[in-house]
């Protein structure tokens, strides 16, 4: 084994560590829902290769109205799923789709795309 081999090994390991860190550990954008009129928390979520914001802080026990704005035609994001609320909705491309859920108690409620590849979460406090 020459120096070149060791360099390649070191670079490979570093790259793997970076990939794992980037996809699994790096912090994503969070947003807090605005308490709108009539006791409903309104949040706009942009859907484009992921959810923006991906973490949404809301108050538990109060209805949350999520406005999903799907800005792409990729079939990956064509559905939004809230497993805890048994909600699966089709998101038409370039349109806003409203999904209303009420987190019953404090906790984290995940939402994903139809294939569970894109992830976001509602953090109820």
Partner 1 sequence: MTATHEPVEHVHGTEPAPASERVVIPVTGMTCAACQARVQRTLGKVAGVSDASVNLMMGNATVSYDPASTSPDALVDAIRATGYGAELPVADRSAFDEQEARDAAQQEEFTGLRRKAIVSGIVGVIAMVVSMPLMAATAHMAPGATTDPFMRWMMTSMTPALRSAAPWLYAISPVVLSYALLVLTLGVMAWAGRHFYVRAWAAFRHHSADMNTLIAVGTGAAFVYSVIATVAPGFFVRRGVPPDVYYEAVVIIIALILTGNAFEARAKRQTSSALRALAQLQPKTARVVRHDREIDVPVEDVHASDVVIVRPGERIPVDGEIVSGESAVDESMLTGESLPVKKTAGDRVIGGTINGTGAFRYRATTLGADSVLAQIVKLMRDAQGSRAPIQALADRVSSVFVPTVISLAIATFVVWFVAVHVGGATTGAATVRGFATAVAVLIIACPCAMGLAVPTAVMVATGKGAELGVLIKGGEALQRAGDIDTVVLDKTGTVTMGKPDVTDIVLAPDAPVTRDELLALAASLEKSSEHPLADAVVRRATEEGIATRTVAMFRSITGRGVSGMIDGTRVAIGNAALMADRRIDVAPLHADAERLSGAARGVMYVAVNDRLAGVLAVADPVRPTSRTAVARLRAMGLDVILLSGDTRRTAESIAREVGIDHVVAEVLPDGKVAEVERLQRDGHVVAMVGDGVNDAPALARADVGIAIGTGTDVAVEAADVALMRGDVTGVADAIRLSRRTMRTMKQNLFWALIYNVIGIPVAAGVLYPAFGLLLSPILASAAMAFSSVSVVSNSLRLRAFRPA
Residues of this chain that interact with partner 1 (CB under 8 A) are 1-2, 4-5, 8-9, 12-13, 15-16, 19-20, 22-24, 26, 28, 48-52, 54, 65, 72-76, 78-79, 81, 83, 86-90, 92-93, 95-98, 100, 112, 114-119
Nearer to partner 1, 30 or 106 (CB): 30
Task: Compute the least distance from the CB of residue 20 to partner 1, in Å.
Answer: 6
CA–CA gap between residue 124 and residue 106 (Å, rounded) = 5
The residue behind tokens 């109060």 is 62
Query: For residue 44, what are its two tokens?
Result: 């706009």
Task: Compute the least distance from the CB of residue 100 to partner 1, in Å.
Answer: 7
Cα Rg, the chain, nearest whole Å: 19
DSSP string spanning 100-120? Answer: EE---SSEEEEEEETTS-SEE
Nearer to partner 1, 106 or 117 (CB): 117
């Amino acid at each position: 084994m020459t120096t070149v081999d060791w360099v390649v090994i070191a670079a490979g390991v570093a790259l793997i560590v970076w990939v794992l860190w980037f996809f699994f550990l790096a912090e994503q954008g969070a947003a807090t829902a605005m308490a709108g009129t009539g006791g409903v928390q309104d949040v706009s979520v942009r859907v484009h290769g992921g959810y923006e914001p991906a973490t949404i802080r809301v108050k538990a026990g109060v209805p949350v109205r999520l406005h999903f704005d799907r800005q792409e035609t990729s079939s990956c994001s064509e559905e939004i799923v809230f497993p805890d609320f048994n909600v699966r909705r089709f998101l038409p491309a370039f349109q806003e789709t409203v999904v209303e859920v009420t987190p019953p108690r404090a906790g984290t409620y995940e939402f994903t795309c139809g294939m569970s590849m894109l992830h976001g979460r509602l953090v109820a406090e």
